[in-house]
Structure 1
Amino acid sequence: MRPELQQRVLDAVARLGYRRNENARSIRPGQHSGLIGVAITNIGNPYYGNFALGVEEVAAERGRRVLLGNTGEDLDRERQLVSDFVGRQVEGLIVVPSGPSGEHLRAEALGGLPVVLASRQVGGIDADAVLLDDVEGARQATERLVALGHERIAFLGNNVSMFTAGRRYEGFRRALEAAGIAEDPALASAGQQDLEAARAAMTRLLDLAEPPTAVFAANNRNTIGALQVIARRLADGRLAEAPALASFDDVELIEFVPAPTVVVSHDARELGGIAARMLFERLDGFDGPPRFVELPVSVQA
């Protein structure tokens, strides 16, 4: 190549930000990468750690390795992560979606790469999905609080516009409606994505002139944030009695909470394992219509 032409190529590479795909270079024509891409929303949440373990166990049985990425509930980061996975020549994807938009997960966008949605669905995406029975679990847990005699029951959760949070809020709402309890907007706090936000929401609820006597927390982050505030107030005497608590997701040491507790229990590891098996069935040649699996949950008081 002439020196001037070589320099023009190098200048174009620098301008476009091109990076050589080492993974693709190491794969001979006809070979597979042996990689599965897994996108989760919060790598700091133990729930997703167990989910990833379930995926990894099944992948290891098949001689595959897992590439794990964190989206932080950010749709743009999810798009970039999926693009990066595709660039690494993954054989398939397992995605916990970050939001309601999923054009980047369409078959045509992925070049036919199989994808399984886990924990949440995305409208308009024809893909296999494995979910929890969020509505029924939340309904039964709230029903248990009502049976204990509570009427001022607060809701702590993520944005209800999100798939999972919306389903759990629906179960909460159904239980109140069945008991003839009117919803109090002051007792509903949604949008908490982390412990700090959950603590702030629980603080606001306890500062109400008529605070709730019970709380339904729609995930483990909200449960832990609520428990931290309750414990501090019990310790400094600002709270004479802890509100009853229902938690969707298991939380370590919740049995030591000095108040009635209800837990919606399920196995995140099993969820990951089922998602992985569904993906490998696609890789093994299954070409039927999209499948939907809804795992049951157990409500324990």
Structure 2
Amino acid sequence: MAEPGNEERAKEPRTVPTISDVARHAGVSPMTVSRVLSGGQHVSATMRRKVETSVRALGYRRNENARSLRPGHRSGLVGVVVTNLANPYYAEVLEGIGEILSEANRRVVFGTSHEDPEEEARLIADFVGRQTEGLIVVPAGGPSEHLRPEQRHGVPLVFASRRQDGVDVDAVIVDDVRGAERVTALLLEEGHRRIAFVGNAVSVFTGQRRYEGFERAHAAAGVPVLPELVRRGQQDIHSAETAARELLALDEPPTAIFGANNRNMVGAIKALHAASAARGTDLFARVRLASFDTFDLEELVPGDLSVVTHDARELGRTAAELLLVRLQGKRPDRPTRTIELPTSIRTRRRSEERLPGTEPAQEPAQAASP
């Protein structure tokens, strides 16, 4: 489903400052600028300060590929920034991006922001300095100045999986709200009234939307969201495990847990394993689980599990296709677009599974009473 955004012209002016621009601004020769940038020793402190001041004022970034690029040739590079390469989800996204870009004779260079806007800004500055032709970014959220056209010197940008407030570019996202709403409604239909939400930071686009879906399902069912069961702010497995341990230690623990992304779900599963071992009881038989996104070894979870799924590779392919349209200059006056991919729910119930070739266990015969 495509949604028109505010207009952003595809051909933003590429006003990348050059060494000559820096030299004119500083009132020195291009050779002096080159010596300063290369760390040369035979430059006076005054000259060095002039050059460094001009570099900052103009936003000059050294072209790391200049020696390898012939005049009139493009780098053929696309910079990709994801938040966590350890997450198999993003490996699938990268596969999709690479699949489309390789067909267009372009290569991917990528980095990981670790959900840190400052690291994201450093990566984007580095990619622009290396003359990447375009950028695909999973935004970390927070400050967005480095994503604005003037900071990326007109290099086309596409968002993948998330959007960022205040930055109007093409994007491909997932139907987070509806996916979270549907899986929460499923838990409510099963009779659960104490459903925990374990999700990532409030500033994260997907975290906001999935919590919105969680709330919508409760409102539709006339069931209040219980604040003591909501944990928002977990960015990794360890913090999610800590949050889930707190929930399981409540006097009235949740009867179901919704992990708003796969890292939060894995943390909740670790907490359930630990609590089951400590109490000598199988908490997986008591706590229903639901996850947004698939995760490694989910088939080994010893309890009922529902997973909101979508095609991560298709998301990557779509993001790459949107970028290529901008790079190839097709319809330069086209407004920016947001493409939203659908989700589905897969449910697996342990009560319905048996190992191949086995039969349900029979109750032992009872001895006759004397």
Give TM-score, length-normalised by structure 2: 0.76
User: Matches of residues 151-190 of structure 1 in structure 2 within 5 Å?
Assistant: 151-190=193-232
Contact 1:117/1:130 (8 A) holds in 2: yes
- In the other structure, the counterpart of 1:107 is 149
Q: Which residue of 2 aligns with 1:205?
A: 247
**Structure 1 position 225 matched with structure 2 position 261:** no
1:292 and 2:354 aligned: no
Per the TM alignment, residue 166 of structure 1 is displaced from its structure 2 partner at its CA by 0.3
Q: Tell me which residue corresponds to 2:15.
A: none
- What is the aligned length? 298
Are 1:12 and 2:54 matched, yes or no? Answer: no
Contiguous gaps of at least 5 residues in structure 1: none
Report the CA distance between 1:238 and its aligned residue. Answer: 4.5
- CA shift, 1:91, in A, is 0.3
- SS of match in other structure, 1:117: strand
Whole-Å Cα distance in 1 between the matches of residues 44 and 293 of structure 2?
54
Query: 1:58: which partner in 2?
Result: 100
The answer to whether the aligner puts 1:250 opposite 2:294 as a matched pair is yes
Distance in 2 (alpha carbons) for counterparts of 1:251 and 1:129: 24
SS at match of 1:24: coil
Q: State the AA in 2 paired with 1:252.
A: D
The letter of the residue matching 1:175 is: A
2:168 and 2:44 mapped to 1: Cα distance? 41
The aligned residue for residue 196 of structure 1 is 238
Task: Report deviation, 1:95.
Answer: 0.6
Task: Give 2:363's aligned residue.
Answer: none
CA contact (8 A) 1:93 1:115 kept: yes
Tell whether the 8 Å contact from 1:115 to 1:279 is kept in structure 2 after alignment: yes
- DSSP 3-state at the match of 1:8: coil
Return the alpha-carbon distance in structure 2 between the equivalents of residues 107 and 241 of structure 1: 51
Shift, 1:256, TM fit: 3.3
- What corresponds to 1:260 in structure 2? 304
Conserved? CA contact 1:138–1:169, under 8 Å: yes
Q: Provide the rounded CA distance (Å) in 2 between the counterparts of 1:253 and 1:148.
A: 25
Q: CA deviation at 1:126?
A: 1.6
Larger radius of gyration: 2
Whether contact under 8 Å (1:255, 1:261) holds in the other structure is no
Query: Which amino acid is 1:281 matched to?
Result: V
Give yes or no for contact 1:155–1:188 (8 Å, CA) kept in 2. yes
Other structure's SS at 1:149 match: coil
What SS does the corresponding residue of 1:23 show, helix, strand or coil?
Answer: coil
1:229 is aligned with what amino acid? Answer: A
Change (3 A) 1:231 1:149: same
Q: TM-score, normalised by structure 1?
A: 0.93
Q: How far, CA to CA, are the matches of 1:25 and 1:161 in structure 2?
A: 41
CA–CA distance in 2 between the matches of 1:119 and 1:205?
29
Q: Conserved in 2, the CA contact under 8 Å of 1:199 and 1:228? A: yes
Match of 2:277 in 1: 235
Cα deviation for residue 229 of structure 1 reads: 1.5
